[in-house]
Chain A
Amino acid sequence: MACSFTGIAKNGPNPYSEMFAFKAAMKAAEAEPVWRTSRIIERQRWNPYSFEGGSTCAIAGENFAILASDTRLTQNDINILTRDGEKMHILNDSIVLATTGFYGDVLQLKKVLQSRLHKYRFDYRSDMSVDLCAELLSRNLYYRRFFPYYTGAVLAGIDEHGKGAVFSYDPIGCIERIAYSASGNAEPMIIPFLDCQIGHVTLSDEAEKPPLTLERATSLMKDAFRSAAEREITTGDKIHLIIAEAGKPIVQKFLPLRED
């Protein structure tokens, strides 16, 4: 060692090195005291996100797409903010956006998409197709890779060939075109139900598989939400149903759900 116990250097390069080391250690301890455990740090960190609960769901058919959501917005899983919130947004005659998650981000995302769609209409003199909008949404989400829009988006509508389309996203823009999708707090309950009833994943090859008509899809959608509202506390109040059929205007319906 270069320093003696008295702190005076005999032949070391810097007589104050011990003092500097002590100061540095003191500073480090002040910045990150040992009693600030990772748990305390985690608790104290400001969280810019909140979650307003609820669920959305979409089913694509041969010539239709049908979306549903509940209308309850919840604070901290417990407190009801409103019983008629809008989780679904009709972007144009063939595109509907359904979102759960952080409602602030949902509204901002809607705004961004609406303005991009507006500009598209101005530039190209026609409405954007759902496939294009799906890609646009994916890019908008990934653009915020490290400060994401905390939303579980489902985009659905009628594509250029008149077929129903459902696109599912994660918060940072991973996109997938699928036959049916759900997002939100009741997603773990709705997806297995649709897997069974539409995907027929559990059915044997011989079993009867009813075709997915608009009527059946609508009924399945209603039943999914009625059942989810029975067991999931943030899903309830009303079902908001949006039906997009090829060559027809978009139809909206509201049905009652339990309010407790």
Chain B
Amino acid sequence: MGHKAPRLTSTGTTIVAAAYKGGLVMGADSRATAGNIIADKHCEKVHKLTESIYACGAGTAADLDQVTKMLSGNLRLLELNTGRKARVITALRQAKQHLFNYQGYIGAYLLIGGVDPTGPHLYMCSANGTTMAFPYTAQGSGSYAAITILERDFKPDMTKEEAESLVQRALEAGMHGDNASGNSLNLVVIEPTATVFKGPIIPDFCKRPEPNDLEYKFNKGSTKVLKQKAYKYDIVESMDISH
């Protein structure tokens, strides 16, 4: 039997995105899990690729960090070389060719979205390189819960407020119904003129309902000292590290 690869993953995730009239809202929860343990309560799953292109990631945390870092670097170079804003389709093509090269072994499941001169765009990119375009979609283990809200309430050409509330409600559904999602959510609203990042937003059900009963403080001497040894030293050089 082979061993399972020890990887810190955020596979358990809810990421949601929806387009509205003239813009796009994307969002993600902030829980990273390693097996059934929460490894990070406030991890950032909404990655900035360019000023107006963002990517939300589900899958292996390290892969997502690396892939989005690579994408943002390449897109920035492209923008500097051409003197134009990068297009969403470019980010998608870069991502899918990289991921296809690795035959799914790079566990990055991305929602790539943004606004460029050709309008708002939203794409899904799977770890094996499959891509699709959507008006609205969700990914990650919480996507089943999230998609129910999107399917029920999405309509074309929503206002910004409607779209934002829809994405937030979809995320909350995912965070509530899925064990591997929760803690807090981050949103990004992308419009041709401006990009606004919101978060972390902590829904009510993600707040701790009761504080601890007892205080756990250990007085000096609580730990048994087994061995003691004193070292004498001279201060050769010192430095102020207070600030």
Q: Which residues of A contact B (CB under 8 A)?
A: 38-39, 42, 53, 74, 77-80, 185, 197, 202-208, 216, 218-220, 222-223, 226-227, 230-234, 236, 255-260
When distances are taken between beta carbons in the complex, the residues of chain A under 8 Å from B59 are: none
For the complex, give the distance between the alpha carbons of A236 and B183 in Å. Answer: 13
**A233 B37 Cβ-Cβ under 8 A:** yes
Name the contact of A77 in the complex, choosing from B175, B180, B205, B219 (C-beta under 8 A).
B180
Residues on B lying within 8 angstroms of A by beta carbon are: 1-2, 12, 31, 33, 35-38, 41, 141, 175-183, 203, 205-210, 212-214, 216, 218-219, 221-225
Choice from A79, A80, A233, A256 contacting B210 with Cβ under 8 Å: A256
Q: Are B38 and A233 in contact (CB under 8 A)?
A: yes
The 8 closest A-B pairs by CB, nearest first: A260-B182, A219-B213, A204-B224, A256-B209, A233-B179, A259-B205, A207-B222, A260-B206
- Distance A233 CA – B40 CA, assembled complex (angstroms): 12
Q: Is B179 touching A78 in the complex (CB atoms < 8 A)? A: yes
Measured in the bound complex, the distance between the Cα atoms of B218 and A204 in whole Å is: 11
Across the two chains, which residue of chain B brings its CB closest to A260?
Answer: B182
**Count of inter-chain pairs, beta carbons less than 8 A:** 98
Contact indicator B33/A233 (Cβ below 8 Å):
yes
Nearest neighbor of B175 in chain A, beta-carbon distance? A260
What are 27 A-B pairs at a CB distance below 8 A? A53-B36, A77-B35, A77-B36, A78-B180, A79-B179, A80-B177, A80-B178, A203-B224, A204-B222, A205-B224, A207-B219, A207-B222, A216-B214, A226-B208, A226-B210, A230-B38, A230-B41, A232-B37, A233-B37, A233-B179, A234-B36, A234-B179, A258-B206, A258-B207, A260-B176, A260-B182, A260-B206
Q: Which residue of A lies closest to B141 (CB)?
A: A78
A227 contacts across to B, CB distance below 8 A: 212
Query: Which residues of B are found within 8 Å of A256, using beta-carbon distances?
Result: 209-210
Residues of B with C-beta under 8 A to A185? 36
CB within 8 Å for A233 and B221 given contacts A78-B179, A258-B209, A260-B181: no
Q: With A and B bound together, what is the CA distance between A38 and B218 in angstroms? A: 51
* Contact residues in A for B12 (Cβ distance below 8 Å): 78, 233
In the assembled complex, the CB of A251 is this many whole angstroms from the nearest CB of chain B, namely 17
Beyond A220-B213, A260-B203: 17 further Cβ-contacts under 8 Å?
A38-B1, A80-B177, A80-B178, A80-B179, A203-B224, A204-B222, A204-B223, A207-B218, A222-B212, A226-B210, A227-B212, A230-B38, A231-B38, A233-B179, A256-B209, A258-B209, A260-B183
